[in-house]
Chains A and B, each alone.
Chain A
Amino acid sequence: MKPYQVKIARSAGNGAPTEVGTFEVVLEERMTVLDALFNIQRTQDDSLSFRCACRVGMCGTCAMYINSVPRLACKTQVSRLNSSTVTIGPLPNLPVIKDLVVSLEPFFEQWKKIKPALHSPTRDSKELACIPATSRYARETPQKRDCITCGICYGACGIKSSSAEYLGPAAINKAFLRLMDPRDTATEERLEVINNERAGVWRCHAQFNCTAACPKNIDLTDTIMRLKRAMLFPSGLKKA
């Protein structure tokens, strides 16, 4: 089979990439970008640094910039890229530690601002909350709860690229989930954060980059739009 050319942004020491490494990898059937990286690391350059844990789309640690789109390396089949060259860089909008490894710290700093933990007066209850399968929470949140905090939406967001303060789509999505959570009572605090004019939902211009890039197919733009409506028409967040 013909070899693919794989171009990878490399850091000389630690820190942001300073050069592009070019490798040739023979495509095997069903090979993912992650497989190509392991192949290079094991047979050509064992200093190549990237993150990977579960390798089946659950841990969210192999997010990177592949042929100009942020994607999970483990869920990207090389053959589906329709290009004989694969160009890989670190996820945008985050500081690079080495090669394809970025620091998620800014992402989680934003995440923490929306108070991701449950704040509930029933936290010491011995009973499970009654949440009918027909309730809004049960019907409307399951897919939005599949977020794997890979940071892809953060890397894809046009606003995020120019605003250090913007919360970013994933953190707003988490805020939405807690706001919808029938047990949670920290509503006012979270609304204040997401209503902040420099950091909150109003920064979103609905370019849909996050939604298009999300590897879990979460409609993040929908989440943000719902929260904008809820700011104007507070009944929109009724937890029923």
Chain B
Amino acid sequence: MPHSSPLPIDTLDADILIIGAGGAGLLAALHVHETDPKLKIVVAVKGLLGQSGCTRMVQGGYNAVLNPSDSLERHFTDTIKGGAYINNQELAWMLVAESPKRIVELENKAGCIFDRNPDGTIHQKAFAGQSFDRTVHKGDLTGIEIMSNLRDYMLETDIRILQECRGLDLLTNDGKVGGALLLNIRTGRLSTVRAKATLLATGGGATMYRISSPSLEKSGDGMAMARRAGAGFVDMEMLQFHPTGLLVGTSVATGGLLEEGLRGAGAHLYNGLGERFMERYDPKLERATRDVVARSSYLEIVAGRGSPNGGVYIDGSHLGEEFLLRNFPGMVERCADYGFDLVHDRVEVSPSAHFQMGGITIDLACRSSLDGLFAAGEDAGGVHGANRLGGNGVADSIVFGGVAGDSMTDYVMGRELPTISAAQITALSQHWTRPLAAARGERPFGLREELEDVMWDRVGVVRNGADLESALDTLAALRERAQQAATAGPAASNPAWNALMDVLNLCDIGQMVAQSALVRTESRGAHYRLDYASPDPSWLKNIFLTPNDDGDLDVHFEPVKFTRLAPPSSI
């Protein structure tokens, strides 16, 4: 029997609604608040404030040009080369140009202090794929410094924080976004937040893969909501695998990362035969970009040259105990937590699904294709092209969070609160609460495992057309089954219900990744097709997906605009 009376719905009005409170969401809130403290900001965070999402998990650090011997042009060139020349060059330029200013804000306004040189200037370390040591950090647990301080900033403002509150869907009227329907996970209460501007900053959906690195509560909610509301997407096939995720058996710790700085500092990778296999793939060896190292490891593993648990080995022991303990205490500790010895031994690692370069299409003001809807951080696409450099991820969140904050502050000026549709709210709340009253149906946990398997096996590090086509069928069937699943029980603190909502969102995104991957008949950056194993210069294009009224996706391409840097003829 359908659930006839939805849960009670609280209502809230705001100038600006921010969904997601990692680096992007909180920087947006900070920028709005600094510019106009009278604006009413509501921030919804799926977990606890400052303790949810992936900015918190940043290890190595944040790329910024701060040294006079470095230059914005060099950082830009590294970013475009790393992205295999399909980045939106104006967004990438904004990233590198704004990044140094944001470091100053993080320190002087938010209260962070990053590691220093003896002379008191900021210390910057080496990361892969970069022509200069420009990665700002606090030890090897940089994200804790950033998020704890941003949280403390928020605590002394009147910004309204809704903790353990997830976005369900956007409220739309005449193609314009006017807020969102939210669920408080603990109380089980629904609420509508009506807002003049809405920012999606929830992070991506790499958790749809069997081995993945992000915080477990992430399920690409922002992208999924944007898709259902009809927003446009770019280069969704581009999903990064980090080369060194820990292998910890069946533990949920599997996929958790050992940071890139280890390879930057000279750690080696070995296959199961003890060969330093990167010699076969790239002259930069372990300091090649993430896409190259992850794919090389994967190819070793599938060729039968992997470690006993299906990975490869990272070895930093030659760097010495004193060096490792001084520079990578967090990584040494993380290994020790699971019984591994990073100081003296090789540690088994695997490529681990990490970050979505693709995402919601935005302009230089973080505006999506829908009026009133903004996106920043991992939710948005285009900045990183086909592969993101280590250290550019948190920089992206912090830079574009700030851009979105400024842009929304301008946007809401002089605007009235939007009209929202009571009929839509009723329909959405009935839709989302249906599983609570469903007596019979599949449970979500098996569906989640199937989803992770199909994404890993058929839409993973190495792809081919036949697998992608069959994956699309499987994903459609999984989505259908998830729509019929049952999670009977209370609305408050119902883990199964929330797990089901995560699966539904990840199915929506996974389908976009697979569809876009099928369209791109070449290999570029993180996207590698066995049936089209080389980069094809005619594919210096971006792939745009636009949801149509049937719920399907319209596809179109546009050549990349080389507004600042043209590719060499060989790319």
Report which A residues bind B (CB closer than 8 A): 13-14, 28-32, 34-35, 38, 41-43, 46-49, 51-61, 74-75, 77, 97-99, 101, 104, 108, 111-112, 115-118, 120, 122-135, 137-138, 142, 145-149, 174, 178, 181, 183-184
- Contact B121–A53 (Cβ < 8 Å): no
Query: Which chain A positions have C-beta within 8 A of B121?
Result: 128, 130
CA A149 – CA B499 in complex, angstroms? Answer: 26
New A-B contacts (10) at CB < 8 Å, excluding given A46-B496, A118-B153, A130-B121: A35-B251, A53-B51, A77-B338, A126-B104, A127-B104, A134-B118, A142-B138, A145-B113, A174-B152, A184-B111
CA distance A148 to B250 in the complex (A): 26
Nearest neighbor of B494 in chain A, beta-carbon distance: A47
> Which residues does chain B contribute within 8 Å of A51, judged by CB atoms?
47-48
How far in angstroms is the closest Cβ of chain B from A214?
Answer: 13
Q: Which residues of A contact B215 (CB under 8 A)?
A: 53-55, 59
Please indicate the chain B residues that have their CB under 8 angstroms from the CB of A127 in the complex: 104
Q: With A53-B217, A117-B153, A149-B148 in contact, do A131 and B116 touch (Cβ < 8 Å)?
A: yes
Q: How far is the CA of A35 from the CA of B256 in the complex (A)?
A: 14
Is the CB of B249 closer than 8 A to any CB of chain A? Answer: yes
Contact indicator B337/A54 (Cβ below 8 Å) = no
Which single member of B104, B120, B443 contacts A132 (CB below 8 Å)?
Answer: B120
Residue on B with the closest CB to A42?
B445
Task: For the complex, give the distance between the alpha carbons of A124 and B101 in Å.
Answer: 11
A132→B21 CA distance, assembly (Å): 32
Q: Is the CB of B337 within 8 A of A75?
A: yes
- If A35-B250, A46-B496, A56-B57 touch, whether A129 touches B337 (CB-CB below 8 Å) is no
**Contact in complex: A131, B155 (CB < 8 Å):** no
Let me know if B535 is at the binding interface, CB within 8 A. Answer: no
B253 neighbours in A (Cβ, 8 Å): 30, 32, 35, 55-56, 74
Residues from chain B with a CB closer than 8 A to the CB of A35 are 250-253
From A34, A38, A132, contact of B119 by CB (8 A): A132
Q: Name 9 interchain pairs, CB-CB below 8 A, sorted by A.
A: A30-B338, A47-B495, A49-B495, A55-B216, A59-B47, A123-B108, A126-B101, A128-B108, A133-B120
What is the predominant secondary structure among interface residues of chain B facing chain A?
Answer: loop
Q: Is B216 a contact of A104 with CB atoms below 8 Å?
A: no
Query: Which of A35, A135, A184 has the largest count of B CB atoms less than 10 A from its CB?
Result: A35
Given A58-B143, A116-B152, A123 contacting B496 (CB threshold 8 A): no
For the complex, give the distance between the alpha carbons of A103 and B156 in Å: 20
Chain B residue, CB-CB nearest to A104: B48
Q: Is the interface of A mostly helix, strand, loop or mixed?
A: loop
B493:A128 contact, CB within 8 angstroms:
no
Contact B57 A98 (CB under 8 A): no
B280 nearest CB across to chain A (Å):
31
Which B322-350 residues have a C-beta within 8 angstroms of A? 333-334, 337-339
- Do residues A48 and B249 form an inter-chain contact, with CB atoms below 8 A? no
How far apart sit A34 and B56, CA to CA, in the bound complex (Å)? 19
Partner of B116, one of A31, A138, A146, A174: A138
Task: Tell me how far the C-beta of A59 lies from the nearest C-beta in chain B, rounded to whole angstroms.
Answer: 5
Chain A residues, Cβ within 8 Å of B459: none
Q: Quick one: closest A residue to B50, CB to CB?
A: A149
| Beta-carbon nearest neighbor of B109 in chain A | A123
Contacts of A43 in B (CB 8 A): 445
Question: B139 on the interface (CB 8 Å rule)?
Answer: yes
Q: Which residues of B contact A47 (CB under 8 A)?
A: 489, 493-496
Contact B56 A54 (CB under 8 A): yes
Q: Is the CB of B57 within 8 A of A54?
A: yes
Interchain nearest-CB distance for A30 vs B (Å): 5
**In the assembled complex, B223 has its CB within 8 A of some CB on chain A:** no
In the complex, whether B473 has a CB less than 8 A from a CB of chain A is no
Inter-chain contact B51/A59, CB cutoff 8 Å: yes
What CA separation (Å) do A118 and B141 show in the bound complex?
20
Instruction: Looking at the assembled complex, report how far the CB atom of B303 sits from the nearest CB atom of chain A, in whole angstroms.
Output: 26
In Å, the complex CA distance between A209 and B139 comes to 27
Contacts of A28 in B (CB 8 A): 249-251
Given contacts A29-B249, A59-B56, contact A145 B138 (CB under 8 A): yes
A183 partner residues in chain B, CB cutoff 8 A: 108
Let me know if B103 and A128 touch, CB within 8 A.
Answer: yes
Contact of A101 (CB < 8 Å), options: B216, B338, B493: B493
Cα distance A47–B492 when bound, in Å? 10
A32-B251, A112-B155, A129-B107 known; A56+B334 contact, CB < 8 A: yes
Q: Are B216 and A52 in contact (CB under 8 A)?
A: yes
Nearest B residue (CB) for A108: B155
Given A47-B496, A123-B108, also A133-B116 (CB < 8 A)? yes
B47 & A61 in contact (Cβ 8 Å cutoff): yes
Contacts of A77 in B (CB 8 A): 337-339
A46 touches B51 (CB 8 A): no
Separation in Å of the A121 CB from the closest CB of chain B? 10
Q: Which chain B residues border A129 with CB–CB below 8 Å?
A: 107-108, 113, 120
Asked if A53 meets B52 with Cβ closer than 8 Å, knowing A32-B253, A142-B139, A146-B141, the reply is yes
> Once the chains are docked, how many angstroms separate the CA of A54 from the CA of B45?
15
B122 interface residue, CB < 8 Å from A?
yes
B393–chain A nearest beta-carbon distance, Å? 15
Contacts of B108 in A (CB 8 A): 118, 120, 122-125, 128-129, 183
Which of B156, B337, B487 lies in contact with A57, CB distance below 8 A? Answer: B337
A30 in contact with B334 (CB, 8 Å):
no
* B538 CB-CB contact with A under 8 Å: no
Question: In the bound complex, do residue B186 and residue A128 qualify as a contact, i.e. CB atoms below 8 Å apart?
Answer: no
> Please, how many angstroms separate the alpha-carbon atoms of A60 and B147 in the complex?
12
Min Cβ gap B477→A in Å is 21
Report the minimal beta-carbon distance from B218 to chain A, rounded to whole angstroms: 9
Say whether B51 contacts A149, CB under 8 Å: yes
**Which residues of chain B from 147 to 165 have a CB within 8 Å of any chain A CB?**
148-149, 151-153, 155-156
Q: Is B248 an interface residue (CB 8 A)?
A: yes
* Chain B 481-502 interface 0/1 with A at a Cβ cutoff of 8 Å (1 = within): 0000001011011111001000
Identity of the chain B residue whose Cβ is nearest the Cβ of A46 in the assembled complex? B496
Of all chain B residues, which has the CB nearest A184? Answer: B111
A126 and B108 CA atoms in complex are apart in Å by 8
Known: A58-B144, A142-B138. A30 touches B249 (CB 8 A): yes
Q: Residue on A with the closest CB to B444? A: A46
Distance in Å: Cβ of A237 to nearest Cβ of chain B: 17
Task: Kindly state whether residue B110 has any CB partner on chain A within 8 Å.
Answer: yes
- Taken together as a complex, chains A and B put the C-alpha atoms of A31 and B250 apart, in Å, by 8
- Which B15-43 residues sit within 8 Å CB-CB of chain A? none
Are B155 and A117 neighbours in the complex by a CB distance under 8 Å? Answer: yes
B117 interfacial by beta-carbon distance below 8 Å: yes
**Min distance, Cβ B535 to any Cβ of chain A, angstroms:** 35
Question: Within 8 Å CB of B109, what residues of A?
Answer: 118, 123-124
Contact B492 A14 (CB under 8 A): yes
